[in-house]
Structure 1
C-alpha cells in the first residue's frame, strides 16, 4: 500500500511548491484590556481581510507587504483602535494592542451568535476552567463529564459515554491528529493519565452528535483539541498529593521557531487506598509531550508533536470487607487475597504537520503520524472469601463483626496478556474559500494498523469445596447427590494469539455556505465521508468493505430582538470496526465484522440573553439515533468485550439542556440536565436496555469567590447520574438479568487562595516573578457517597443463592495543590 501511495504524495508535493508566492507579511499578537487581560472576539480588519481573536485574545492576520497598511481593532465593549504598519515580504511582526473601555455605559450586553461554535453545534471549554475545576481525575475529561449528553460513573477513568454510545465511539483529535487509548486497560485505576496535557491546551471544542463530515468515522462524539503556538516565554508547575506537572514554552528571536513542552507524573495511591480493598499499591504514570513549530514564511508552517508515556501499575491486594444487605439483615463479604498484578502500558506517538497557504483563500495540509503501544497485563490473584451475617445488636461486644458464615469459597484469576500495536497514517487535506459565503474542504488519508496480540486468561471458582465448571458448557450439575461427569474446565478460559493488519483509505468532502434570507442569516454545511478497509489476520483475508456517510447541517439565525439560533443536523454516522471490535468473547477474530450504522437527527436551539446585566446562554437539543448492524458488547469497569457479530439493532433518544453564564460576576458556571433512553434488539428477541442506558443526568460546574476577600475562590463540580445496567454476572444472558447499579452521585469541591493572577497581587514585590500563584485545598467525594462500578458475585451454598456485592469506588479524600506560572 505504501509503495502504491508514494506517487500520489509526490504529485501533491509538486503541486504545492508550484504556487507563486505573493508579496505578503503577517501581524500577530494578543489583544489586551486595561488590566492586561486578553480580550476574545475582537475584530481585526485590514483591506486584505479580517479575523477575530480567539478565547485567549490571540489573532493573526495576513497583510500586503512593501506598503502602509492600516489595521483596525474593534469590539462592542471597547474603544476602536487603529494602527498603521509597513512590513517587508514574508516578515512576521508581533504586536499586542491594548484597548480601553468605552466612556459611555452599555446597559444591555448581547452575546452575538456569529461565532463558529454556535453555528456548528460545538461547545467550547476554556483551558483556565479545565485547570481549576477539581476532580479525582482532573483534566479535560473531568469537565467533559459535566456537559450535556455525557455520562460516566467512574471517577478514576478518563472514559465517558455520549448519548448512548460506548467509550470506543468517541473521537479525540489533538491538532487535527487522531489519538488513541491503550487497548488492554480494563480498570479505571490503571489509566493514570489521558493523552491530553492540559498545560499545553489552547482551545477545546466538544461535539455530542450531528457533527460535520470532516470529523472521522465514529458514532457518538468528537473532542477537538488544539495545543498552543507560543508567543513568548512562559513556564509553570503544578504539584499535589496526586502528582504534578511542569511545562515551559518559548519562541526564537526571529519569531520563526517556537516550542512548548510538558511533563506530567501521577500517582493514584491517595485515591485507591481510600477504597475497601486494602492494597500494597505502587503505581507510576509518567509522560512527556512536546510541540515544535517552525514558520519560515507567511506561506509555510511546520510542526511536530511528540509524546512518550509510560504507565506502570503494580497492585498487591491484601484484604477487603464490604458490608451490604439491609438494616434488618446486614451481610458482609470478607476476602483475603494472595498474589499480585503487574501491568505496563508504554505508548510512543509522533506527528509531522505541514501547512501551506499560497494565498488567503487556499490552505493545504499534510499530516503524517505514527502511534506505537506496547502493553502487558500479568496477574495471578487468589481471592478466598467468606460470606456472613453481621451482628447488628447495638451494645454487643461483637457489634459490626461477622458472627455466622453463610458460605465460603475461592477464586483464582490468571492472565498473561501482551499486545503490540503500530498505527501509521498519512493525510492530505485542503481548504478553499470559493467566493463570498462558500468554502470547500477535502481530505484523503491512508492508515495502516498492525496489531500483534496474545491473550491468556482463565478463572477457577470454588464454592464450599466444589469446583464450579464453565457455565457455557452443556451439563447437569446435581452434586453432591450424584458425581459430576462433565469435562474438567476452568470457569472461564480464553487463549488466543493473533497477528492482524488493517488497511484503510479514508476521505471526505465538505461544503460550507452562508447566505441571507431577507434580513435573516442561514448556514448550510453538507458533506460526505467514505472509508474502504480490509482485515488480514493469521493468514485469513476479510472482505474488502466500503462505507459512505452523507451528513447535513442547517442553521438559521433570525434577525430578532432576542438573540436566537436554530439548528438541525442529520446524516449517516458509520463506524468501521477497530481491532478490539473484531475480537470475540473467546478470543477469536472475525475478519468480516461490518461497520455499525447510525442515523442522527438533532434539533438544537441557542438563546443568548442578559440577566443581572451579565451574559447568559441556554442551549437545548433534542436527538434521536437509529442504529443497525450493532456489534453488541459487555462492559466490565472500563473494558469492553465485543461479540463481533453485528447481530442487533438499537435506538437512542433524549433531551439535553445547559444554562451557562456569569452567575457570579466575572466567572463562568453552568447547570446541565439530560434524559436518555437507549435499547437494543438482539436476534429479534425483543428490546432491552443497552449497557449505556443511563436515563437521567444532572451536573453543576460552579465558580465563586468571596466579595470582601476576592483572593479566596471556590470551585464546585457536582454530577448525578441514574444507575447503569451492569449489575448482572458477565457470563449471564442479558435477557435474563437486567439489574442496574445504584445511582452515581459525586461532588468535588476546591478552595484556593490566589496570591497573584491577572487581577490580584501586582502590588506585592515578592510576586513579581509570577503571573499566577495559587494554593488550593480540594475535597473529592465531599458527601462520601458509596458509588459502585460493578458487582462481585458470590454464592451461598446453604440457600443456593447468589449475591451481587458492590465494588465501591473511592470514598472522601483530601488533596492539596500548588499552582505557579511565570
Structure 2
C-alpha cells in the first residue's frame, strides 16, 4: 500500500525543484501583565503555515524556515503582539513576551467560555474540510461523518439527525438564523449550501439536547462563526467541479470577509443512468463587514446571494436491477426538458454593545427573500422487460418476458416566493457564579405559492377510451396559496457553577404564532460534571422541544393547506461521557451519548424521490432511541482521524389508521463512518485522506398510495472516497520551491477518487406498473466512480 500511494503521488505531482532553507528555532516564555505564565497562547509565523501553543508553564518552541520573519502571539481576551526578526542567522533565539489584557474582548471571552463548557455539542475540526474528498463540495459533508447524522445521498446537503427529517435542523451564522430554500426536490438540483467553508473560523454541532437560546426545531443545531481573522489573506481553490475565491482583510478597527463560489457538476451527473444534456450552474457570494464604532460598540453586516439553475434535456435511460434469478431491465426514451432555478438574497445587521465588563447586548435584524421555480415537461416512452440471467459480452441475455410498454408524463409549473423578516435582542450577563441569558425575537414569514403539476402513467402505451380515467394520476394539482405567519419567541436561561467540578444550566423558551395560536413553553436542563482528574466530562440533558407549524408541514399532497395544524412536540433526554486517554501512541478522545425521545405529536410524511411530502391532515406519535459513539486522535502528527458509529430505532404510529407502529422514513438503524489521514513516511508532505460511510437500509413506501407505509426498503448506503494531497509549502518538508514560497503561504494539489469501489447506491425509486397491474420500484442510482483534481492556494499577505 505504501509503495502504491507513493507511486500515485509521484504520478500526480511530478518532481519539484527546491532550494534548501535555513531553520531558526525560537523559544521563550509568555506571561501576562502580572508576569504570570500564560498557557494556550498561539504562536505563529506570519505568512508561513506554522504555529504552536504555549504549555501550562507558558513555554513555547517554534521553527521558521527563513531568517527574516515575524512571530504573532495571540490569545482570546489579550492584545496580540507581533515580534519581527530581520536577517538573522540560523540557530536558536530566546524571545520572552508579555501580553496585555484586552478589556473589550475579555468581556466576550468570559461569557462565551462558560457557555462553551455547558453546550452539549461537538466542535468541528474545520481544518479538515478542504481535505475531505466530496462530490458536493459543501460544508455539510463533514456533518455526515458525525455521530447521530444519517445520510444516503452524497449529492445533497440535507441531513437527518437522530430520526428527524430535513426540516428539523437549525443553522446559525454569527447568531443569525439562516433561511433556506424549501422547494428544491432532488439532490442533483441542489447547488451550494449557505456556509462558505473558506470564511469559517469555528463551527459547533449539536445532535440534540441543545440549550434554550437556540430556536424551536426538534432535531439539531449547527452554530457557525465568521469571526475576526488573525491576519489578512486570500485563498483560491479551483477544480473540475468548480472554483472559489475568498479574501480576508484585517484593519485596526474593522475587518472584511468576502467569498465567491461557482459549482458545475455536469461531469458527475453525466455518469448517471439518465443520459442527456445536463447544465447545472450554481453561484454564491457572501460579504461580512464589521466596524468598531467605539470601545463599547461594534456593528456587523452579513450579506449573501445564492443562485442555482438546473437544466436537463433527457435523452434515454437504461437501468438493470433485481436478483440473479430475476433480472429486470427498464429502457426509456425521453422528449422534453426540465429547468429548475432558485435565487436567495438577504442579510443581517448586528449591533453589539459592551456597556460594562460583564454584559453583552446584541440586536440582530435579518431579511431573506427566496424565489424558487420548477419547469418540467418530460415525456418518457419505456419498455420494461424481464431478461435472462445468462451473461455474455458485458450484457445480460435475451428478453424472457415483456412486462410493459408504456409512457409517462411529468409536468410542473411551480413558483414559490418566500420572505423572512426578523428582529432579535440577545443579552448575556455575568454575575459571580451565574451567566444569565435572555432573548426576545419577532419573525414574520410570508409565502406566495403557485402550484401547477401532474404526473401520468399509461402502462398500456396508448390513450384508452375514457380519457384520463384510465391513467394513474400521481399528482393533479392546481392551487394558489398565500400565507403570512408571525412568530413571537422569548427565552431565559441561567448557567450556574455549582462547584469547581459541576455546572448546571436551566432555561425555558416561550413561543406564540399566529397560525396555530398556541402558546408553547419548552423547559430545558443540562447538568455537566468534570472530575478533578480533568480527563472526562459527564453530561445529562432533558427538555421539551416544540416545532411550530410552518408552510411546508401544513401543505398536503394536493397543495391544500391545513390551517388547524398544531405544533410538533418531543420530550428528549440524554446522557453522555467524554473521556480523554493516552493510547496507540497518541492522545485519544472517546465520546458517547445515549438518548431517548418521545414524540406525542408528529406530522407524518413520505419520501417521493428525495422530496418530503407531508400528510398534513394526519397526526402521529413516535419514539426514537439510540447511542452515538466516537473515538479519534492524531494517529499521525497534526492529522486528526476518527471512527464513529450510531445505533438507532425510530418508529411512529399514525393515529386512527389501525396499523400500529411503523418505521419512520429516517429509521436508519446503523450508521458508521471513518475519516482517516496518513502521511508517506519518506515524504511527509504527501498525505492520504480516506472517507468511508455506511448507512443501513431505509424504509420507503410507494407514493402511489397516499397513506403512510414502510413496506419497502432502500438498500444500505456504502461509500468510500479517497484523496491524495501535497502541500508544496508544508512545514513538514525541509525544502520548499523558491518561486512558490515567495508569493504563497500554502500551495496544495489534490487528487480525489469518488466512489472508489464503484458501488451502485440507490437514492430513490421510479414506480411503474406492468400489464398485470403489478407495481415495480426501479432504482435511481447515485454517482459512480469519478476522478477529480483541485488546487487550493493561499496567498501571502503583502503587508
- Range into which the TM-score falls when normalised by the shorter chain: 0.7 to 0.9
Cα offset, 1:544, TM superposition: 2.1
1:708 to 673, 679, 682: 682
Structure 2 equivalent of residue 530 of structure 1: 510
Distance in structure 2 (CA, Å) of the matches to 1:365 and 1:394: 68
Structure 1 stretch 160-169 or stretch 182-191: which is displaced more? Answer: 182-191
Contact (CA 8 Å) 1:159, 1:638: kept in 2 or not?
no
Matched, 1:59 2:75: yes
Distance in structure 1 (CA, Å) of the matches to 2:490 and 2:720: 43
Cα offset, 1:396, TM superposition: 7.8
Give 3-state SS (helix, strand or coil) of 1:205's partner: strand
TM-score by length of 2: 0.85
Matched, 1:503 2:486: yes
Contact (CA 8 Å) 1:39, 1:57: kept in 2 or not?
no
Give 3-state SS (helix, strand or coil) of 2:201's partner: strand
Structure 2 equivalent of residue 31 of structure 1: 42
Instruction: Provide, for residues 16-55 of structure 1, a one-character-per-residue CA deviation record: whole Å limited to 9, x for no partner.
Output: xxxxxxxxxxx9x98215886344697899xxxxxxxxxx
Instruction: Provide, for residues 492-519 of structure 1, a one-character-per-residue CA deviation record: whole Å limited to 9, x for no partner.
Output: 2111101110111111101101122xxx
Cα offset, 1:489, TM superposition: 8.4
Distance in structure 2 (CA, Å) of the matches to 1:240 and 1:117: 37
Question: Residues 769-780 of structure 1: matches in 2 within 5 Å?
Answer: 769-780=743-754
Contact (CA 8 Å) 1:282, 1:313: kept in 2 or not?
yes
**CA 1:759/1:737 → structure 2, altered by over 3 Å: closer, same or farther?**
closer
Question: Residues 461-480 of structure 1: matches in 2 within 5 Å?
Answer: 461-465=457-461
Structure 1 equivalent of residue 3 of structure 2: none
Question: Residues 760-771 of structure 1: matches in 2 within 5 Å?
Answer: 760=733, 763-767=736-740, 768-771=742-745
TM-score by length of 1: 0.83
Distance in structure 2 (CA, Å) of the matches to 1:382 and 1:549: 50
Question: Residues 309-320 of structure 1: matches in 2 within 5 Å?
Answer: 309-320=306-317
Contact (CA 8 Å) 1:758, 1:772: kept in 2 or not?
no
Distance in structure 1 (CA, Å) of the matches to 2:450 and 2:579: 53
Structure 2 equivalent of residue 148 of structure 1: 147
Structure 2 equivalent of residue 18 of structure 1: none
Matched, 1:426 2:439: no
1:788 to 747, 762, 772: 762
1:690 to 646, 664, 671: 664
Give 3-state SS (helix, strand or coil) of 1:159's partner: coil
Question: Residues 90-489 of structure 1: matches in 2 within 5 Å?
Answer: 119-252=118-251, 255-395=252-392, 399-400=396-397, 402=399, 405-435=402-432, 437-465=433-461
Instruction: Provide, for residues 412-444 of structure 1, a one-character-per-residue CA deviation record: whole Å limited to 9, x for no partner.
Output: 011000011110000111000011x21000100
1:815 to 751, 771, 788: 788
Matched, 1:572 2:587: no
The unaligned stretches of length 5 or more in structure 1 are 1-26, 46-55, 64-78, 93-113, 469-479, 536-542
Contact (CA 8 Å) 2:118, 2:526: kept in 1 or not?
no
Distance in structure 2 (CA, Å) of the matches to 1:247 and 1:652: 41
Structure 1 stretch 804-813 or stretch 562-571: which is displaced more? Answer: 562-571
Question: Residues 553-592 of structure 1: matches in 2 within 5 Å?
Answer: 553-560=526-533, 563-592=535-564
Cα offset, 1:697, TM superposition: 0.8
Cα offset, 1:637, TM superposition: 3.5
Distance in structure 2 (CA, Å) of the matches to 1:82 and 1:397: 71
Structure 2 equivalent of residue 649 of structure 1: 621
Structure 1 stretch 786-795 or stretch 333-342: which is displaced more? Answer: 786-795
**CA 1:484/1:352 → structure 2, altered by over 3 Å: closer, same or farther?**
closer
Instruction: Provide, for residues 83-114 of structure 1, a one-character-per-residue CA deviation record: whole Å limited to 9, x for no partner.
Output: 16599x9999xxxxxxxxxxxxxxxxxxxxx9
Distance in structure 2 (CA, Å) of the matches to 1:359 and 1:621: 38
Contact (CA 8 Å) 1:41, 1:57: kept in 2 or not?
no
Structure 2 equivalent of residue 4 of structure 1: none
Cα offset, 1:328, TM superposition: 2.8
Distance in structure 1 (CA, Å) of the matches to 2:627 and 2:95: 42
Structure 1 equivalent of residue 110 of structure 2: none
Structure 2 equivalent of residue 53 of structure 1: none
Give 3-state SS (helix, strand or coil) of 1:580's partner: helix
Distance in structure 2 (CA, Å) of the matches to 1:130 and 1:401: 48
Cα offset, 1:667, TM superposition: 1.1
Structure 2 equivalent of residue 105 of structure 1: none
Structure 2 equivalent of residue 547 of structure 1: 520
Give 3-state SS (helix, strand or coil) of 2:208's partner: coil
**CA 1:305/1:400 → structure 2, altered by over 3 Å: closer, same or farther?**
farther
**CA 1:274/1:121 → structure 2, altered by over 3 Å: closer, same or farther?**
same
Cα offset, 1:791, TM superposition: 1.3
**CA 1:488/1:83 → structure 2, altered by over 3 Å: closer, same or farther?**
closer
Give 3-state SS (helix, strand or coil) of 1:590's partner: coil
**CA 1:395/1:603 → structure 2, altered by over 3 Å: closer, same or farther?**
closer
Give 3-state SS (helix, strand or coil) of 1:794's partner: strand
Contact (CA 8 Å) 1:30, 1:38: kept in 2 or not?
no
Distance in structure 1 (CA, Å) of the matches to 2:426 and 2:519: 20
2:612 to 625, 634, 640: 640
**CA 1:213/1:801 → structure 2, altered by over 3 Å: closer, same or farther?**
same
Cα offset, 1:155, TM superposition: 0.5
Contact (CA 8 Å) 2:316, 2:333: kept in 1 or not?
yes
Cα offset, 1:465, TM superposition: 3.8
Contact (CA 8 Å) 2:619, 2:654: kept in 1 or not?
yes
Distance in structure 1 (CA, Å) of the matches to 2:445 and 2:266: 35
Structure 1 equivalent of residue 650 of structure 2: 678
Instruction: Provide, for residues 331-353 of structure 1, a one-character-per-residue CA deviation record: whole Å limited to 9, x for no partner.
Output: 21001111101111001011001
Distance in structure 2 (CA, Å) of the matches to 1:651 and 1:663: 38
Instruction: Provide, for residues 51-95 of structure 1, a one-character-per-residue CA deviation record: whole Å limited to 9, x for no partner.
Output: xxxxx99534269xxxxxxxxxxxxxxx996516599x9999xxx
Distance in structure 1 (CA, Å) of the matches to 2:207 and 2:736: 44
Distance in structure 1 (CA, Å) of the matches to 2:142 and 2:583: 25
Give 3-state SS (helix, strand or coil) of 1:182's partner: coil
Cα offset, 1:373, TM superposition: 0.5
Structure 1 equivalent of residue 20 of structure 2: none
Question: Residues 795-806 of structure 1: matches in 2 within 5 Å?
Answer: 795-797=769-771, 799-806=772-779
The unaligned stretches of length 5 or more in structure 2 are 1-37, 59-71, 80-93, 107-112
Distance in structure 2 (CA, Å) of the matches to 1:330 and 1:91: 67
Instruction: Provide, for residues 304-347 of structure 1, a one-character-per-residue CA deviation record: whole Å limited to 9, x for no partner.
Output: 01011110111111111001122233221001111101111001
Cα offset, 1:579, TM superposition: 1.2
Structure 2 equivalent of residue 724 of structure 1: 698
**CA 1:466/1:651 → structure 2, altered by over 3 Å: closer, same or farther?**
farther
Contact (CA 8 Å) 1:444, 1:507: kept in 2 or not?
yes
Distance in structure 1 (CA, Å) of the matches to 2:425 and 2:393: 75
Cα offset, 1:209, TM superposition: 0.4
Q: CA RMSD in A?
A: 2.8
Instruction: Provide, for residues 444-498 of structure 1, a one-character-per-residue CA deviation record: whole Å limited to 9, x for no partner.
Output: 0100111111111111110114669xxxxxxxxxxx9xx8996988442111101
Distance in structure 2 (CA, Å) of the matches to 1:757 and 1:702: 19
**CA 1:396/1:566 → structure 2, altered by over 3 Å: closer, same or farther?**
closer
Distance in structure 2 (CA, Å) of the matches to 1:85 and 1:487: 81
Distance in structure 1 (CA, Å) of the matches to 2:468 and 2:259: 61
Distance in structure 1 (CA, Å) of the matches to 2:670 and 2:488: 39
Contact (CA 8 Å) 1:583, 1:644: kept in 2 or not?
yes
Cα offset, 1:117, TM superposition: 5.0
Give 3-state SS (helix, strand or coil) of 2:739's partner: helix
Give 3-state SS (helix, strand or coil) of 1:756's partner: coil
Cα offset, 1:406, TM superposition: 2.4
**CA 1:610/1:322 → structure 2, altered by over 3 Å: closer, same or farther?**
same
Distance in structure 2 (CA, Å) of the matches to 1:654 and 1:467: 51
Distance in structure 1 (CA, Å) of the matches to 2:244 and 2:545: 38
